[in-house]
Amino acid sequence: MQLAWTLLLAWVVRRSSPKIYEDVSDLPGLGYDFVIVGGGAAGNVVANRLTETQNFSVLVLEAGVSNKGVIDSVVSFFVEDLLSGPNIYDWNYTSTPQIGLNNRTMPYPRARILGGCTAHDGMVYMLLAVRRTTSIIMRL
């Protein structure tokens, strides 16, 4: 029962042909080489790497819904809508009272949607790997 709740959205990857399923009963099977819990940046990168060269089957379990058609997640700066109040695309956490903030609490956004926080992070900043940064500087 717990598994069925978590598996609102599953991503099966085999040889770079990912498919999204929204119901457990639609899955082509229940045996996978790897099962990854969380379809955020880390989970999806690992799934992609695992299927790059090997014929592994990978199941990614994501608690949230698909990001497909969620325009606020796609268009830069529309993301404010996703961050401005309780909604189904977020875990809707609130911090504990913070002594340093006069005991105020704060919203603590963590995405609950395929893509994880990359679906609502707005790409305000991007951090490159050191090697990539060096190669860009060398070309300047």
Binding-residue total with ligand FAD (CB under 6 A): 28
CB 61 within 8 A of CB 10: yes
Residues 53-72 that bind ligand FAD (CB under 6 A): 61-64
Question: Is residue 36 involved in binding ligand FAD (CB under 6 A)?
Answer: no
Kindly indicate which of the ranges 16-24, 93-101, 121-129, 130-138 contains the residues binding ligand FAD, using the contact rule CB under 6 A.
121-129
120, HSE (Cβ side, Cα atoms, 13 Å): 27
Spell out where 1-140 has E strands.
9-14, 19-21, 34-37, 57-62, 93-94, 107-108
Q: Does 122 bind ligand FAD (CB under 6 A)?
A: yes
* Nearest distance in Å: CB 116, ligand FAD: 2
Interacting residues with ligand FAD between 74 and 103 (CB under 6 A): 83
- Are the C-beta atoms of 119 and 69 separated by less than 8 Å? no
> Which region among 20-28, 68-76, 99-107, 119-127 touches ligand FAD (by CB under 6 A)?
119-127
Quick one: residue 69, left, alpha or beta (phi over 0 = left, psi -120 to 50 = alpha)?
Answer: left
